[in-house]
């Protein structure tokens, strides 16, 4: 049976990318434990607006664990303390009456803060534009069974494609590396025949863009894998490294 709880929410407030940020703590009473975490933020914002104060700015969209926009640290964990979920899938039943919940934006050089909990994640879009696609000739759609693909390869490609580009991997990494994201996007294409023609070009271009945008290097701490809401495996990073090395040797 759900109950209502009283909590304190310690939220990062920052008016702009060049402003100095700080934490502010707000008391919330009678929050339903059945509410999602984002619904709790909505309740907080309604309270702030009623008090003629600025609401907390944050990103959200689908609220179904698909879009990856709900990018925030909750009590020191990207997306919260529960594994393999996004922030919108976190519910207040995870917390207890009297808890203080600390909420912060992503902490990564590649994701500059726009305001409060909202960060600029367009760096990931730029990495995809650098090579995360397959070039094909226009024309009739080929039959789905015309290119046989072993099931284990198809399954692994689908696992890589489950990455939603939320940025939790880079936010969790002590080096701010985007290698898990890049490797997932490389793997989902490199494992399939359609993606092999541009495999070497893709690996070099996407890694170069990642470095250009200020993301750090991977040192295999596995924090990215642990905090990924879709449990994307670091085995894809090994594949990316092989693809990159092969590309360099073929130059």
Residue 21: give its domain's CATH number: 3.10.20.30
Domain boundary among 114, 141, 173: 114
- 238 and 146 in one domain? yes
- 187 and 79 in one domain? no
> Which residues does the chain have with pLDDT short of 50?
none
Domain boundary among 114, 144, 164: 114
Domain boundary among 88, 114, 140: 114
HSE-up of residue 33 (Cα within 13 Å, Cβ side) = 12
- 192 and 92 in one domain? no
- 242 and 125 in one domain? yes
> Rounded distance, CA 102 to CA 99, Å?
10
Sign of CA dihedral 230, 234, 238, 240: positive
Residue 118 has a pLDDT of 97
HSE-up of residue 122 (Cα within 13 Å, Cβ side) = 4
Q: What is the pLDDT of residues 217-248, one digit of tens each?
A: 999 999 999 999 999 999 999 999 999 998 88
Which residue range is the domain that position 206 belongs to?
A: 121-250
What does DSSP assign to residue 193? H
Residue 4 has a pLDDT of 96
């Amino acid at each position: 049976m759900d109950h209502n709880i009283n909590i304190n929410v310690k939220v990062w407030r920052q008016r702009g990318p060049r402003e100095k940020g700080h934490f502010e703590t707000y008391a919330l009473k009678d929050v339903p434990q059945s509410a999602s975490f984002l619904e709790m933020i909505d309740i907080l914002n309604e309270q702030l607006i009623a008090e003629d104060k600025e609401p907390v700015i944050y990103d959200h969209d689908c609220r179904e664990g698909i879009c990856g926009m709900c990018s925030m640290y909750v009590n020191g964990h990207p997306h919260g303390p529960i594994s393999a979920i996004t922030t919108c899938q976190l519910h207040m039943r995870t917390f207890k009456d009297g808890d203080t919940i600390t909420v912060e934006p992503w902490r990564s050089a590649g994701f500059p803060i726009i305001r409060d909990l909202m960060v600029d994640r367009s760096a990931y879009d730029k990495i995809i534009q650098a090579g995360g696609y397959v070039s094909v000739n226009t024309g009739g759609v080929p039959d789905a069974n015309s290119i046989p693909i072993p099931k284990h390869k198809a399954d692994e490609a689908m696992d890589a494609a489950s990455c939603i580009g939320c940025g939790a991997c880079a936010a969790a990494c002590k080096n701010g590396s985007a290698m898990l994201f890049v490797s997932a996007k490389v793997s989902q294409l490199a494992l399939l025949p359609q993606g092999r023609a541009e495999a070497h070009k893709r690996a070099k271009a996407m890694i170069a863009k990642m470095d250009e945008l200020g993301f750090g290097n991977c040192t295999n701490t596995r924090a990215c894998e642990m905090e990924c809401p879709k449990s994307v495996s670091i085995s894809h990073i090994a594949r990316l490294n092989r693809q990159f090395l092969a590309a360099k040797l073929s130059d």
